[in-house]
Amino acid sequence: MRIVSGIQPTGNLHLGNYLGAIRNWVRMQDEAAAQGGECLYFLADLHALSQPHDPKALASNTREMAAALLACGIDPEKSVLFNQAQVPAHAELQWLLNGTARVGWLNRMTQWKDKAGKNREGQSVALFTYPVLQAADVLLYQATHVPVGEDQKQHLELARDIAQKFNNDYCAPDAPLFTLPEPIIPREAARIMSLRDGTAKMSKSDPSDMSRINLTDDAETILQKVRKAKTDPEPLPADKADLEGRPEAANLVGIYAAVAGTSPEAVLGEFAGHGFGAFKPALGELLVEKLAPINARFLELRQDPAGLDAILRSGAEKARALGTPTLHGAYAALGLLRG
């Protein structure tokens, strides 16, 4: 069992990241340890170059995101925590995989289509080839499982396609180089939506901070964001099917269920017939109760940038060692002459 996943260090860690991915990262680090496996979790700082970014802010954002992950329960004694930029093999393997990935495959990526919109010509090459780097991120370590939210499923399927084609084209049938990774997507909370628009994903890049709950928000801010979340005038139904066509209501019920560790049906069992005047304060208090300890740990950890740097440096050293055999295998399979 080799678990690998990443997060971009742009903006804050939000509730969508936490419920969709990071909670599983924490859970899986114990499962992997019990089975003699390993977890590698990284800050995808190379991915941040695909969109305009502020070089002065990137290093401190990377440290802050590391602090947020540690605050959520990632334990550097159990997991390898690092940032991509300290492991050049990610970028090297991406180049080697560029010969295998097809332009048509990348053209079909919905994230590319969404982010580029009508202005494809004006985008960076990195935004287009981003999924090849993501494939390199997991294939480099022979990942068996990749815990992610629903929005990354297509990128993982692409990674499998690249691995399969590379294995077919350059390896003997009984000695494939790459393992095909399985996405691990939570059944509930795979896609948390914006608090301002129940049809848009909760996202770091939404210009409105009111659209998301950041794990760094204090109690007052969380309560205010929930109070102001968009809703409709109807009371909550008894039956989950009746949330159909009410995306904001469905999202808030889904968040409550995921945070409380129960099902949307059970939440409706408790709140059916009540309006948002009653439901929102209950949701706000639940969020504050669950997020306050994470917030407190985060504030403490971010005070120690040297300590965070040391954790990332030591993680990167381990990651470099773990990735070396596969990188060498890829150079050899492609017939590249080295020393």
Catalytic residue IDs: 115, 201, 204
46 forms part of the interface with ligand TYM (CB under 6 A): no
Pick between residue 49 and residue 242 the one whose CB is nearest to ligand TYM. 49
| 3-class secondary structure, 38 | strand
Give the residue from 89, 109, 106, 96 showing the smallest Cα distance to 42: 89
Listed in order, strand segments (DSSP E) in 156-257 are 182-184
39 forms part of the interface with ligand TYM (CB under 6 A): no
138 forms part of the interface with ligand TYM (CB under 6 A): yes
Nearest approach, Cβ of 160 to ligand TYM (angstroms)? 12
For 48-95, give the DSSP string.
GGGS---HHHHHHHHHHHHHHHHHHT--TTTSEEEEGGG-THHHHHHH
Nearest approach, Cβ of 274 to ligand TYM (angstroms)? 26
Give the residue from 151, 142, 70 showing the smallest Cα distance to 113: 151
Which of 134, 142, 167, 326 contacts ligand TYM by CB under 6 A? 134
44 forms part of the interface with ligand TYM (CB under 6 A): yes
Nearest approach, Cβ of 333 to ligand TYM (angstroms)? 22
Number of residues in contact with ligand TYM, rule: CB under 6 A?
A: 23
Using CA atoms, how far apart are residues 89 and 92, in angstroms rounded to an integer?
Answer: 5
Question: What one-letter code names the amino acid at 246?
Answer: R
255 forms part of the interface with ligand TYM (CB under 6 A): no
Which one of the spans 190-198, 224-232, 266-274, 286-294 is the region binding ligand TYM (CB under 6 A)? 190-198
* Euclidean distance between the first and the last CA atom of the chain, given in angstroms as a whole number: 33
Sign of CA dihedral 193, 194, 200, 205: negative
196 forms part of the interface with ligand TYM (CB under 6 A): no
Give the residue from 320, 302, 321, 336 showing the smallest Cα distance to 62: 302
47 forms part of the interface with ligand TYM (CB under 6 A): yes
Which of 45, 137, 206, 217 contacts ligand TYM by CB under 6 A? 137
192 forms part of the interface with ligand TYM (CB under 6 A): yes
Name which of residues 145 to 174 contact ligand TYM (CB under 6 A).
146, 148-149, 151-152
Which of 68, 202, 223, 267 contacts ligand TYM by CB under 6 A? 202
Q: Which residues of 55-73 are buried (b: 16+ CB within 10 A; e: fewer)?
A: eeebeebbbbbbbbbbbbb
Nearest approach, Cβ of 25 to ligand TYM (angstroms)? 9
Nearest approach, Cβ of 150 to ligand TYM (angstroms)? 6
The DSSP output letter for 327 is H
Nearest approach, Cβ of 173 to ligand TYM (angstroms)? 27
248 forms part of the interface with ligand TYM (CB under 6 A): no
Which of 23, 145, 160, 201 contacts ligand TYM by CB under 6 A? 201
Which one of the spans 114-122, 132-140, 215-223, 319-327 is the region binding ligand TYM (CB under 6 A)? 132-140
Q: 145-147 and 182-184 as β-strands: parallel, antiparallel, unpaired?
A: parallel
Using CA atoms, how far apart are residues 4 and 41, in angstroms rounded to an integer?
Answer: 6
Q: Provide the token pair at 180.
A: 């095909």
Give the residue from 228, 225, 201 showing the smallest Cα distance to 291: 225
Positions touching ligand TYM (CB under 6 A) are: 5-8, 16-17, 20-21, 44, 47, 134, 137-138, 146, 148-149, 151-152, 190-192, 201-202
